[in-house]
Amino acid sequence: MVDKALDEITSIPGVTGVFIASGRGVVLYGKNLQIDQSDLEEISLRFLRMSAIFNDRDEEVSEIEMFWKDMFMICKFFNNILLVTVCTNPKILPLIRITLNVCISDLLQDKKLMKLARSHATDKTLVLRKGKFEEDELNLLSNL
Protein backbone atom coordinates (compact mmCIF):
# COMPACT_ATOMS: atom_id res chain seq x y z
CA MET A 1 0.00 0.00 0.00
CA VAL A 2 2.90 2.37 0.75
CA ASP A 3 4.42 1.86 -2.69
CA LYS A 4 1.09 2.55 -4.37
CA ALA A 5 0.68 5.81 -2.44
CA LEU A 6 4.23 6.95 -3.22
CA ASP A 7 3.72 6.08 -6.90
CA GLU A 8 0.55 8.15 -6.97
CA ILE A 9 2.33 11.17 -5.47
CA THR A 10 5.36 10.95 -7.75
CA SER A 11 3.09 10.71 -10.80
CA ILE A 12 2.09 14.36 -10.31
CA PRO A 13 3.93 16.53 -12.87
CA GLY A 14 6.51 18.63 -11.04
CA VAL A 15 6.97 16.22 -8.13
CA THR A 16 10.55 14.98 -8.08
CA GLY A 17 10.36 12.71 -5.05
CA VAL A 18 8.58 11.76 -1.87
CA PHE A 19 9.55 10.17 1.41
CA ILE A 20 8.03 9.04 4.67
CA ALA A 21 9.87 9.68 7.92
CA SER A 22 9.17 8.74 11.49
CA GLY A 23 8.59 11.08 14.40
CA ARG A 24 12.32 10.80 15.14
CA GLY A 25 13.36 11.87 11.67
CA VAL A 26 14.29 8.39 10.45
CA VAL A 27 13.46 7.91 6.77
CA LEU A 28 11.24 4.83 6.46
CA TYR A 29 10.35 4.87 2.75
CA GLY A 30 11.30 6.96 -0.25
CA LYS A 31 10.79 7.19 -3.99
CA ASN A 32 12.59 9.07 -6.79
CA LEU A 33 14.83 10.96 -4.37
CA GLN A 34 18.01 12.59 -5.59
CA ILE A 35 18.93 13.65 -2.05
CA ASP A 36 21.48 11.99 0.25
CA GLN A 37 20.19 10.00 3.22
CA SER A 38 21.86 12.38 5.70
CA ASP A 39 20.18 15.37 4.02
CA LEU A 40 16.80 13.60 4.13
CA GLU A 41 17.18 13.11 7.87
CA GLU A 42 18.23 16.75 8.30
CA ILE A 43 15.13 17.85 6.37
CA SER A 44 12.95 15.60 8.54
CA LEU A 45 14.43 17.03 11.71
CA ARG A 46 13.84 20.58 10.48
CA PHE A 47 10.19 19.81 9.86
CA LEU A 48 9.90 18.09 13.24
CA ARG A 49 11.50 21.04 15.02
CA MET A 50 9.16 23.50 13.32
CA SER A 51 6.12 21.42 14.29
CA ALA A 52 7.42 21.07 17.85
CA ILE A 53 7.28 24.84 18.22
CA PHE A 54 3.55 24.74 17.56
CA ASN A 55 3.11 21.81 19.96
CA ASP A 56 5.00 23.78 22.58
CA ARG A 57 2.28 26.43 22.23
CA ASP A 58 -0.47 23.79 22.41
CA GLU A 59 -1.29 24.29 18.73
CA GLU A 60 -1.56 21.53 16.18
CA VAL A 61 0.07 21.82 12.79
CA SER A 62 -0.79 19.40 10.00
CA GLU A 63 1.33 20.84 7.20
CA ILE A 64 4.52 22.87 6.76
CA GLU A 65 6.07 24.14 3.53
CA MET A 66 9.68 25.16 3.03
CA PHE A 67 12.34 25.71 0.42
CA TRP A 68 15.46 23.63 0.81
CA LYS A 69 18.31 24.46 -1.56
CA ASP A 70 16.52 24.75 -4.94
CA MET A 71 13.57 22.53 -4.05
CA PHE A 72 10.13 23.26 -2.64
CA MET A 73 8.90 20.80 -0.02
CA ILE A 74 5.60 20.22 1.64
CA CYS A 75 5.37 18.08 4.75
CA LYS A 76 2.12 16.57 6.03
CA PHE A 77 2.05 15.27 9.62
CA PHE A 78 -0.14 12.36 10.67
CA ASN A 79 0.09 9.71 13.42
CA ASN A 80 3.73 10.46 14.28
CA ILE A 81 4.67 10.24 10.59
CA LEU A 82 5.93 12.83 8.14
CA LEU A 83 5.00 12.60 4.48
CA VAL A 84 7.38 14.91 2.61
CA THR A 85 6.88 15.75 -1.05
CA VAL A 86 9.70 17.33 -3.02
CA CYS A 87 8.73 19.39 -6.04
CA THR A 88 10.15 21.90 -8.45
CA ASN A 89 7.51 24.56 -8.03
CA PRO A 90 4.91 25.56 -5.40
CA LYS A 91 2.38 26.33 -8.15
CA ILE A 92 1.25 22.69 -8.11
CA LEU A 93 0.44 22.86 -4.40
CA PRO A 94 -3.38 22.53 -4.73
CA LEU A 95 -3.08 19.29 -6.70
CA ILE A 96 -0.43 17.97 -4.30
CA ARG A 97 -2.64 18.70 -1.27
CA ILE A 98 -5.58 16.82 -2.76
CA THR A 99 -3.39 13.83 -3.65
CA LEU A 100 -1.66 13.82 -0.26
CA ASN A 101 -4.95 13.80 1.61
CA VAL A 102 -6.13 10.77 -0.35
CA CYS A 103 -2.79 9.00 0.09
CA ILE A 104 -2.70 9.69 3.82
CA SER A 105 -6.06 8.00 4.28
CA ASP A 106 -4.64 4.96 2.46
CA LEU A 107 -1.42 5.02 4.48
CA LEU A 108 -3.35 5.13 7.76
CA GLN A 109 -4.78 1.73 6.84
CA ASP A 110 -1.32 0.21 6.33
CA LYS A 111 -0.76 -1.80 9.52
CA LYS A 112 2.95 -2.31 8.89
CA LEU A 113 3.55 1.44 8.52
CA MET A 114 1.48 2.28 11.60
CA LYS A 115 3.36 -0.31 13.67
CA LEU A 116 6.66 1.12 12.45
CA ALA A 117 5.51 4.64 13.35
CA ARG A 118 4.56 3.57 16.87
CA SER A 119 7.99 2.03 17.39
CA HIS A 120 9.62 5.36 16.42
CA ALA A 121 7.37 7.59 18.53
CA THR A 122 9.02 10.38 20.50
CA ASP A 123 8.16 13.40 22.58
CA LYS A 124 7.93 16.35 20.20
CA THR A 125 9.39 18.78 22.72
CA LEU A 126 12.62 16.75 22.78
CA VAL A 127 13.11 17.54 19.09
CA LEU A 128 13.50 21.22 19.96
CA ARG A 129 16.56 20.40 22.05
CA LYS A 130 18.41 18.69 19.19
CA GLY A 131 21.12 20.93 17.78
CA LYS A 132 21.04 24.65 17.20
CA PHE A 133 18.60 26.57 15.08
CA GLU A 134 19.86 27.66 11.68
CA GLU A 135 19.51 31.27 10.50
CA ASP A 136 16.50 30.46 8.30
CA GLU A 137 14.78 28.65 11.18
CA LEU A 138 15.31 31.64 13.45
CA ASN A 139 13.78 33.90 10.81
CA LEU A 140 10.74 31.64 10.61
CA LEU A 141 10.41 31.57 14.37
CA SER A 142 10.51 35.34 14.61
CA ASN A 143 7.45 35.50 12.32
CA LEU A 144 5.29 33.26 14.54
The string of pLDDT tens digits covering residues 50-80 is: 888 877 677 788 899 999 888 999 999 988 8
d(CA 15, CA 83): 13
pLDDT score recorded for residue 95: 93
Asked if residues 55 and 45 have their Cβ atoms less than 8 Å apart, the reply is: no
pLDDT score recorded for residue 47: 92
pLDDT score recorded for residue 121: 56
Q: How many domains does the chain have?
A: 1
Domain with residue 45: its CATH number is: 3.30.450.30
pLDDT score recorded for residue 11: 94
- The answer to whether residue 9 sits within a structural domain is yes
Residue range of the domain that includes 133: 2-137
Q: How confident is residue 40, by pLDDT bands cut at 50, 70 and 90?
A: very high
- The answer to whether residue 33 sits within a structural domain is yes
Nearest to 68 by CA among 20, 34, 97, 100: 34
Please say whether the dihedral angle defined by the alpha carbons of residues 85, 61, 112 and 103, taken in this order, is positive or negative: negative
- The answer to whether residue 55 sits within a structural domain is yes
- The answer to whether residue 142 sits within a structural domain is no
